[in-house]
Amino acid sequence: MFSSPSAEVHPHCPGMTATSSVGSTSQDPSKKTQVVDRLYRSLVEEEDARVCKDIPEEACTDVPRNFFKLGIAQTLTKLADELTSAKTVLPWLLTSLGAPPFWIGFLVPIRESGSLLPQMVIGAAVRRRPRRKEVWVLGGMLQSAALLLMAVGALVFRGWQAGIVLVGLLVLLSLARGLCSVASKDVIGKTVPKTRRGRLAGYTTLVAGLLTLGLGAALTTVMAGDLSPPLLSLILALSALLWMAASAVFGRVQEVPGATEGGDSGLKEALRRLSLLRTDAPFRRFVAVRSLLVSTALAGPYYVMLARQYSGGAELLALFLLASGLAAALSSVFWGRYADRSSRSVLITGAAMASALGVLVFLADLSGTLGNHPWIAPLAFFLLAIAHSGVRIGRKTYVLDLASGARRTDYVAVGNSVIGVVLLAGGLLGLLTPVLGSAGMLLVLSFLGVLGALGGRGLPEVQ
C-alpha cells in the first residue's frame, strides 16, 4: 500500500533512486537543496536522461551542488588571473619598477608553458590518487603563496632585482597552475556530465568577465597618472586572497573515487604516454590543431604594444581590463552553449575570427588608419578576447568529451605538456618583432590561426 523510499526516482538521474547513493550529501531534503536543484535545472534548461552521461552513477545526485561549487571556484580563479595577467598587469608592474625590458618578454611564455610542461609527470602522480580535488587545492594554495610573495617583492625590490624576483616567483606560480590544470579537468569530468561542461565554462567566464569589467571601470577613477607599485602590489595580494577562497570552495566538491591505473611511475610513465600521439589519431589531430591555435593567445601583447605605440597613458591598462571583461561577459555563455552542441565548431569559429581580425589590423596599420585612430587597437583587443574565449572554451570542452576516466587525465597531461613546448617555441617568434613590427607579427599569427581552423575541420565530433 505504501511506496518504499528506495523506489523514489531522483529528479536529476532518471533510472536512479534517491537513496541509491548511500552517504551522499545531496540526500538532504532541505529547502536549500531544493532551491539549488531548481536553479541548476533552470540554467541547464534540460531534464532528460543525458544529464548523467559519462559520469559515475553514484556521482549523479551531487551534480547540481558540484556544478555551483566548481562554478564559484572557477569564477574566483578567473578573476585572479585577470588581476595578474601576463599580457597587461604584470608588464605594467615590471615597467613601473624599472625592470629591464627583456624580462617582460618572458612573462607570457613562463605563465603558460611553466604550468604545461611538467604535466606528463604531474599526471602520473595525480592518477595515484582516487580523489583529485586535493591536488587542485594544493595547487591553489601554492599559487596564493606565490602571489603574496610577489606582492611583497613589488614593495621591496626595484630594477633588475625586481625582474629576477618577480619572474622567478612567476615560475613557481606557473608550476602550481599545472597541478590545478590536470586535477580540475579530471574532477569536472567525474562530477559534471557531458552537455553541461561547456555551460559551466561559459557561466563562470561570464561572471568573472562582469567582475573584471567592474574592476576596470573602478580603476579608471584612479588612473589620472600612473598606477604606483604599492597599488599594483595590493592587486597582487587581492589575487592571492581570491585563490585562497577558491581553494576552500573547491575542497567542498563531492568527488567519488576514480581509477588509479597508470600512476605507478613518474617520468618513465609520462614518456610512455607520449605514444598516444602516435597511436591515437583523433587525439593527435586535436593536439596539432591546438598547437596552431596557440597563436590566438600569443597575439594579445601585440595589440597592447600597438596601442602604446600610438597612444600613451596609464588609462590603457584600465581600457584593456574593460575590454577583456566585457568580451567575456558578452560571449562566454554563447560559446559555452555552442560548445555543448559542437566544441569542434567553436574551435574553428574562434580561430577564424582571430585570424581575420589580425589581417584587418595589419592592413589598418599599413594604411595609417591605426595611427590616425588609435582607439582601434583597444577595440581590436576586445574582439580578439571574444575569439580567444571561444577557442579556450571550445578546446577545454573538446578534450573533456573526447575521453573519460584515466584516459582523460592522460589526454590533458600529454596535450598540455606538448603545448608547453609549443608556447616556448612561439615565444621565440618574438625575436622577429624588430624586423616585422607588431602589426607584422599579427599577420604571421593570423596565418597560423588559419591553418588551425582548417585543421579543425578534420576533427571528429565528440558531443
Residue 215 pLDDT: 75
pLDDT in tens, 108-161: 778 888 777 776 667 667 767 767 888 899 999 999 999 999 999 999 999 889
pLDDT in tens, 156-202: 999 889 989 999 999 999 889 888 887 887 788 777 776 677 777 77
Note whether residue 26 is domain-resident.
no
Share of residues in the chain with pLDDT > 70 (%): 77
The answer on pLDDT for 441 being more than 50 is yes
Q: State the chain's mean pLDDT as an integer.
A: 78
The answer on pLDDT for 237 being more than 70 is yes
Residue 351 pLDDT: 94
pLDDT in tens, 344-371: 999 999 999 999 999 999 999 988 888 7
Residue 21 pLDDT: 39
Note whether residue 257 is domain-resident.
no
pLDDT band at 96 (very low <50, low <70, confident <90, very high): confident
Note whether residue 319 is domain-resident.
yes
In this structure, of 33-42, 90-99, 348-357, the range with the lowest mean pLDDT score is 33-42
Distance CA 123, CA 127 (A): 6
Share of residues in the chain with pLDDT > 90 (%): 22
pLDDT in tens, 62-78: 777 888 888 889 889 98
SS3 of the chain: CCCCHHHCECCCCCCCECCCCCCCHHHCCCHHHHHHHHHHHHHHCCCCHHHHCCCCHHHHHHHHHHHHHHHHHHHHHHHHHHHCCCCCHHHHHHHHCCCCHHHHHHHHHHHHHHHHCCHHHHHHHHHCCCCCHHHHHHHHHHHHHHHHHHHHHHHHCCHHHHHHHHHHHHHHHHHHHHHHHHHHHHHHHHHCCCCCHHHHHHHHHHHHHHHHHHHHHHHHHHCCCCCCHHHHHHHHHHHHHHHHHHHHHHCCCCCCCCCCCCCCCCHHHHHHHCCHHHHCHHHHHHHHHHHHCCHHHHCHHHHHHHHHHHCCCCHHHHHHHHHHHHHHHHHHHHHHHHHHHHHHHHHHHHHHHHHHHHHHHHHHHHHCHHHHCCCHHHHHHHHHHHHHHHHHHHHHHHHHHHCCHHHHHHHHHHHHHHHHHHHHHHHHHHHHHHHHHHHHHHHHHHHHHHHHHHHHCCCCCCC
Note whether residue 13 is domain-resident.
no
CB 169 within 8 A of CB 143: no
Residue 353 pLDDT: 95
Note whether residue 222 is domain-resident.
yes
Q: What is the mean pLDDT of residues 279-287?
A: 89
Residue 4 pLDDT: 38
Note whether residue 322 is domain-resident.
yes
Q: Which residues contact 291 (CB under 8 A, 6 or more apart)?
A: 418, 419, 422, 452
Specify the number of domains making up the chain: 1
Note whether residue 34 is domain-resident.
no
Note whether residue 156 is domain-resident.
yes
The answer on pLDDT for 264 being more than 70 is no
Pick from 15-29, 228-242, 350-364, 396-410 the range whose average pLDDT is largest: 350-364
Provide the 10 A C-beta neighbour count for residue 404.
Answer: 17
The answer on pLDDT for 7 being more than 50 is no
pLDDT in tens, 216-229: 777 666 555 556 78
Q: Containing domain of residue 155, as a range? A: 66-252+262-456
Residue 70 Rama label (left phi>0; alpha psi -120 to 50; beta): alpha
Q: Which pTM value belongs to this model?
A: 0.70
CB 223 within 8 A of CB 88: no
Distance CA 46, CA 169 (A): 45
Residue 22 pLDDT: 37
Residue 288 pLDDT: 93
pLDDT band at 3 (very low <50, low <70, confident <90, very high): very low
Q: What is the mean pLDDT of residues 88-114?
A: 79
We report the CATH number of the domain holding residue 405 as 1.20.1250.20
Residue 25 pLDDT: 41
Residue 248 pLDDT: 93
Residue 241 pLDDT: 96
Residue 152 pLDDT: 95
Residue 290 pLDDT: 92
Closest CA to 169 of 154, 181, 155: 154
pLDDT in tens, 38-64: 676 666 655 544 456 665 666 567 777
